[in-house]
Amino acid sequence: MIHIRPMTAADFEHFWPTFKAIVGARETYAFDPAITVEQARQLWLEMPLHTLVAEENGELLGSYYLKANAAGPGAHVCNCGYMVTEAARGRGVAQAMCKHSQQLARDNGFMAMQFNSVVSSNEVAVALWQKLGFEVVGRLPKAYQHARLGLVDCLVMYKWLGEAMPHEQPKLIGRKNIEAVVYRRRGR
C-alpha cells in the first residue's frame, strides 16, 4: 500500500537522482537541466508550503509539492508538481499523490488547483489529470523546448476543489465573498 508523508532532508537526498533524471531528460519539467542539488532542494523542499513523499515498504516511489499559485487575490488557488521514480511508473503513484494533494489543498483552505505548464506531449499525465477532473483551460503554443520533439505546446490545467465552480454560484464572486468562503472552510 502506498503511504504518503512529509518529505525530510534525508528523503530529498534519496529523491535527488529521480529529480535530476527527470529534469535532465527535458521532457516534462521546465527547470534548468544544470540545476544543482542545493537549488533543487530549495525549489522542491524548502519553498513550497508542503512537500511529501510516496513510499511503499520503505521504497521511495515519488514526491510532490503543494504551494499557493499566486499571492493576494489569487491565493485561494494552489499549484502542485509531481515526480515518480522510474521503477514506480505505472503503479498508480501519481494518481495516489494527486488525490492526496487535492485533499491536502482543501485542508489548507485552497479552493482550486492549477497546473501552469503541463507539456502536451506528456500524454500519460494529461490523461491522468483529466481522469481526476482537471480541465484544459489554456494552451501555450510552442512553450516548451522538448529534448526529442522540439517545440511543443504546454497546457494550463485547472480543477475547482469546492462544491461548485464560482460561475455556478454568483454569490461567491467578489473578494469579500471569496474570503468568507475561505474562512468558513478553515473554520473561522
Q: For 49-66, write each residue's pLDDT tens digit.
A: 999 999 999 999 999 999
CATH fold for the domain made of 3-186: Aminopeptidase (3.40.630)
Confidence of residue 88 (pLDDT cuts 50, 70, 90): very high
Residue 52 to residue 110: CA distance in whole angstroms: 17
Phi-psi region of 159 (alpha: psi -120 to 50; beta: other; left: phi over 0): beta
Instruction: Say yes or no to pLDDT of 21 above 50.
Output: yes
pLDDT grade for 188, boundaries at 50, 70 and 90 = very low
Q: Which residues contact 67 (CB under 8 A, 6 or more apart)?
A: 47, 48, 49, 50, 78, 79, 80
Confidence of residue 183 (pLDDT cuts 50, 70, 90): very low
Sign of the alpha-carbon torsion through 164, 114, 124, 46: negative
Domain boundaries, the chain: 3-186
Per-residue pLDDT band at 163 (split at 50, 70, 90): low
